[in-house]
Structure 1
Amino acid sequence: MANIKSQIKRVKTNAKANLANKSFKSSVKTALKKAETAITAKEANATELVNTAISLVDKAVTKGIYHANKAARIKSKLMLKAN
């Protein structure tokens, strides 16, 4: 553990952010998996699930969790499966 007061605070905020980012990444992965299974099962709500997954991926980019190129790759793969 650090001795400097600002570094102690920084460690705490990094831990908090790490938990938040991990939680958001998990929700994105869950949405992607749901969309992919709906596509393969040819369910009626597949397009809706794809749209929510893409929306979450875009939010992850704005939050700085994913790089823009990674998000583009994810969305491209999902749209290829959907079409």
Structure 2
Amino acid sequence: MLHGPSRTAKIAGVAALAGMMMAVVVAGVVTRERPVPATTPVPQATAVPEALTRELDRCATLTMPDAGCEAAWAANRRRFFGEEGAQP
């Protein structure tokens, strides 16, 4: 005479089902999308002037020292660090 699954098999099945459900919950919590923090717009005063941008692009391709490039990099550093006299 055949009887249904044993008590141990039932407990193992319920434990396996509970484990799978727990894994789904943990995966859902871990991968939940978090809101992106709002970014502040860059004030127009700190925008890089077009002439400085072109000069820095030109200087990036040079391999020899250039006085104009040294001045452009110095102006860019002053602008970046917010020092006085940053406007070229």
Q: Normalising to structure 1: TM-score of the pair? A: 0.35
| Between structures 1 and 2, the one with greater helix share | 1
Which TM-score applies when normalising by structure 2?
A: 0.33
Q: Which has the larger radius of gyration?
A: 2
Q: Which has the higher contact order (CA 8 A, sep 6+)?
A: 1
